[in-house]
Amino acid sequence: MDNLVKGWEAIIGLEVHAQISTKSKLFSRSSTGFGNDPNTQVSFYDAAMPGMLPTLNENAIDQAIKSGFGINGTINKMSRFDRKNYFYPDLPSGYQISQFYYPIVTDGHIDISLQNGGKKTVNIERIHVEQDAGKSIHDLSSEFSYVDLNRSGVPLMEIVSKPDMRSSYEAIQYVKKLRMILRYIGACDCNMEQGNLRVDANVSIRKPGDSLGSRIEIKNINSIRFLGQAIDYEIERQIITIESGEKITQETRLFDSNLTETRSMRSKENAADYRYFPDPDLKSVILTDDRINKLKSEMPELPDIKRERFLNDYGLSGSDIDVLIEDKQTALLFEEAVLSSKFKPIESAKLISNWMICELFAVLNKEEKTINSLGFPIRYIAELVDLIIEKTISGKIAKTVFVEMIKNGDPPAKIVQDLSLIQIQDESTIKSIIEQVIKDNPTLAEQYKAGKIQLFGFFVGETMKRLQGKGNPEKINEILRETLG
Ligand code: MN
């Protein structure tokens, strides 16, 4: 499959800024809480008062190391913080502390799924740890701009991919996969609306085989949908520009989500413009083997491995597994249910998966709930499935039980008891009902016997109705066939 647009190939690399999940900032003890009153989470250090010194938040470093494992990267035993100098009103110190020369993680990669079902490896150049800046607020007043420093100094990881992606689809798959991995690890909430995952996209185009064209950086994209729109717009814009005889010059652009277009922000700075130099107030970060190994031992099972295991252990389809493992908690609950079934996974897992995906998720979506706010323990799903497998109830009756379970949180066996829903297996009971049905519909019975076999469904339905939906469907079919001849 090629990704060419009008004979042009798009080259895409992404820089993802992920806010590290910590309670306090990277170099101070101020809270990282979101949505609080402006400038209520600002220490003297965050406000860059003279003489204040940074103290490194070791937990932020630990999370970055785990993220490094998550992307199959090399954890560097020595990393170092540098000052990146630039002026902006939301940056009171006049520099951002970042890891430029010696990042903590290098040479990683993750696999993404392609539209054709194949896989592609996207290489990741580095993860470095840095501080976030504050926020300028321009829309509160027509006269003034305001600065909120609550975000100033919040720990970020910048995850820089190689320019390995060739379409907006691949870029979206990459961000989704990265987000899933970081959430599994717990290193970042990846809530794009709250800005704790932001994407910068570098986009250029070339004719296949040519050397790389000048790239455009689109800054601070804060939703997956906007990422796709921004990249597609930018590819199209560059093609039109070049084909009309103009040149693309390296610059930074912003995506306007209202107009779905990018527009020029500034010409792109090069590293030299920032006058990077080692921060004299911070020691190098030196990692011991003990620390690295301890963090490695704390790593959760990651999505790719979990997927493989679910394929082997539970015999589910790939697409069902993708739904179940998208969220780590859902995957854990699914397994909890499977393990609590009376039956072996090979018998129960598929049914439990179906009930979770088709019935449970539908209800959760409708009621805008999450799987963590269920009104009953997840093993009830397994109990329901057990009742189906052992033929105490039919799949149809199970839906009635399920509705009750959602409503009042009772265990399925109790609901079956209370509503007397146990399946009628007794052949003589079923047979006597069938005989009654035939007696009451003599004309139809004659027509069936004369060859109008599509009437069979009528007799099944009528029998089931008289058994209040509780008859065993296979037995009804079998006895009907015998009786009608
Ligand atoms: Mn950055």
Distance 129 CA to ligand 1 centre (A): 9
Q: How far apart are CA 170 and CA 314, in angstroms?
A: 29
Distance 130 CA to ligand 1 centre (A): 7
The pLDDT, as a whole number, for residue 269 is: 67
Q: Do 288 and 431 fall into the same domain?
A: no
- pTM confidence score: 0.87
Q: How far apart are CA 102 and CA 110, in angstroms?
A: 22
Distance 20 CA to ligand 1 centre (A): 13
Task: Write the DSSP assignment of 91-149 as a string of letters.
Answer: -TTSEEEE-SSS-SEEEEEEEEE-TTS-EEEEEEEEEEEEE---EEE-SS-SS--EEE-
In a domain, 375, yes or no: yes
Distance 305 CA to ligand 1 centre (A): 30
Shortest CA distance to 327 belongs to which of 183, 429, 425, 437? Answer: 183
Q: What are phi and psi of 175, to 5 degrees?
A: -65, -40
Q: Do 127 and 37 fall into the same domain?
A: yes
| 369: CB partners within 8 A, 6+ apart | 363
Q: How far apart are CA 394 and CA 449, in angstroms?
A: 29
Distance 145 CA to ligand 1 centre (A): 23
Distance 234 CA to ligand 1 centre (A): 21
Distance 459 CA to ligand 1 centre (A): 70
Domain that holds residue 335: 301-418
In a domain, 193, yes or no: yes
How many domains is the chain partitioned into structurally?
Answer: 3
| Nearest-10 crossing angle of helices 427-440, 442-449 | 100
Q: Do 82 and 226 fall into the same domain?
A: yes
Burial 157-193 (b: 16+ CB within 10 A, else e): bbbbbbbbbbbbbbbbbbbebbbbbbbbbebbbbebe
| Nearest-10 crossing angle of helices 427-440, 473-484 | 50
The pLDDT, as a whole number, for residue 368 is: 87
Q: Do 46 and 175 fall into the same domain?
A: yes
In a domain, 204, yes or no: yes
Distance 290 CA to ligand 1 centre (A): 29
Radius of gyration of the chain (CA): 30
**Bridge partners for 108 per DSSP:** 124
What is residue 208's three-state secondary structure?
coil
Q: Do 408 and 479 fall into the same domain?
A: no
What is residue 346's three-state secondary structure?
helix
Tens of each residue's pLDDT in the chain, 485 residues: 467 888 999 999 999 999 999 999 999 999 999 889 999 999 999 999 999 999 999 999 999 999 999 999 999 999 999 999 999 999 999 999 999 999 999 999 999 999 988 999 999 999 999 999 999 999 999 999 999 999 999 999 999 999 999 999 999 999 999 999 999 999 999 999 888 999 999 999 999 999 999 999 999 999 999 999 999 999 999 999 999 999 998 999 999 988 889 988 877 667 678 999 999 999 999 999 999 999 999 999 999 999 999 999 999 999 999 999 999 999 999 999 999 999 999 999 999 999 999 999 999 989 888 888 888 999 999 999 999 999 888 888 899 999 999 999 999 999 988 888 888 888 889 999 999 999 999 999 999 988 898 899 999 999 999 988 888 888 899 999 888 87
CATH number at residue 451: 1.10.10.410
Q: How far apart are CA 438 and CA 391, in angstroms?
A: 26
Q: Do 313 and 436 fall into the same domain?
A: no
Q: Do 73 and 202 fall into the same domain?
A: yes
Distance 440 CA to ligand 1 centre (A): 79
In a domain, 257, yes or no: yes
Distance 238 CA to ligand 1 centre (A): 25
User: Domain end: 269, 294, 319, which one?
Assistant: 294
Q: Do 312 and 360 fall into the same domain?
A: yes
User: Domain end: 235, 259, 294, which one?
Assistant: 294
In a domain, 1, yes or no: no
Distance 128 CA to ligand 1 centre (A): 8
Q: Do 459 and 409 fall into the same domain?
A: no
Distance 112 CA to ligand 1 centre (A): 24
Q: Do 350 and 264 fall into the same domain?
A: no
pLDDT, tens digit, 9 for 90 and up, residues 416-425: 888 888 888 8
Chain centroid, CA 460 distance in Å: 45
pLDDT, tens digit, 9 for 90 and up, residues 372-419: 888 899 999 999 999 999 988 888 889 999 999 999 999 999 998 888
Q: Do 287 and 306 fall into the same domain?
A: no
Distance 59 CA to ligand 1 centre (A): 19
In a domain, 2, yes or no: no
Q: Do 167 and 279 fall into the same domain?
A: yes
The pLDDT, as a whole number, for residue 468 is: 86
Q: How many CA atoms lie within 13 A of 258 on its CB side?
A: 0
Distance 86 CA to ligand 1 centre (A): 13
The pLDDT, as a whole number, for residue 236 is: 95
User: Domain end: 294, 325, 349, which one?
Assistant: 294
Burial 14-41 (b: 16+ CB within 10 A, else e): bbbbbbbbbebbbbbebbbeeeeeeeeb
Q: Is 103 exposed, middle or buried (0-12, 13-18, 19+ CB in 10 A)?
A: buried
The pLDDT, as a whole number, for residue 2 is: 62
Distance 138 CA to ligand 1 centre (A): 22
Distance 158 CA to ligand 1 centre (A): 6
The pLDDT, as a whole number, for residue 1 is: 42
Q: What are phi and psi of 375, to 5 degrees?
A: -85, 10
Distance 384 CA to ligand 1 centre (A): 50
The pLDDT, as a whole number, for residue 375 is: 86
Distance 17 CA to ligand 1 centre (A): 6
Q: How many CA atoms lie within 13 A of 217 on its CB side?
A: 17
